[in-house]
Amino acid sequence: MLRSRVLIFALAAVLAASSVFAQGNPTGTITGHVVDPDNLALPGVTVTVASPMLQGLRTAVTSANGDYIIPFLPAGDYTVTFELQGFAKATETIGLKMADRLPVNVKLTLASVTESVTVSNGSSFLLKSGIRSALEIGAVSSHR
């Protein structure tokens, strides 16, 4: 009789443990590596995830090795954005499932350089002044 009670208790313990493990991890993780055009690790990249499943945004910054990890995300669709000054912003759209550990690796490209030249009023005054002076010099020369 004691033996059957021990057996029933052991069976109940196994069933209870299996139901706990069957529930699984309700969240997922986005992880990855960010590199430059030469495949060198990029530290300091801000990685932002956005989803209707989240209240707000989740961010991480890449390590010295260019790695990042954003854990404990509910299953759903996410937009992952990568930003670092001097590089073009990159965006990836992914679907994350329960208990997923989804790698999102990105190669950032260099940002385009734009130049602009601004001419202030002071410069145009000098230019007009220079033309007027030249005209006056010409007028004085023609009177001789």
6-52: pLDDT as tens digits: 556 555 555 555 444 446 779 999 999 999 999 999 999 999 999 99
Separation between Cα atoms, residue 11 and residue 28, nearest integer Å? 32
Structure confidence at residue 53 (pLDDT): 86
Is 130 inside a domain boundary? no
Domain of residue 81, residue span: 25-107
Helix residue spans in the chain (DSSP H): 2-23, 121-142
Structure confidence at residue 112 (pLDDT): 86
Separation between Cα atoms, residue 67 and residue 65, nearest integer Å? 6
Q: Which of 81, 6, 21 is nearest to 47 (CA)?
A: 81
H/E element, 59: strand 58-61
Is 73 inside a domain boundary? yes
What CATH number does the domain containing 73 carry? 2.60.40.10
Q: What is the mean pLDDT of residues 65-72?
A: 98
Is 48 inside a domain boundary? yes
The domain tally of the chain equals 1
Is 81 inside a domain boundary? yes
The pTM score is 0.64
Q: Which residues pair with 70 in a beta bridge?
A: 30
Contacts (Cβ under 8 Å, ≥6 apart) of 102: 28, 29, 30, 31, 94, 96
Separation between Cα atoms, residue 133 and residue 135, nearest integer Å? 5
88-130: pLDDT as tens digits: 999 999 999 999 999 999 999 999 877 667 766 655 444 444 4
Is 36 inside a domain boundary? yes
Separation between Cα atoms, residue 54 and residue 76, nearest integer Å? 9
Structure tokens, 87: 């590089």
Is 103 inside a domain boundary? yes
Is 131 inside a domain boundary? no
Is 123 inside a domain boundary? no
Q: Provide φ and ψ at 7, rounded to 5°.
A: -65, -45
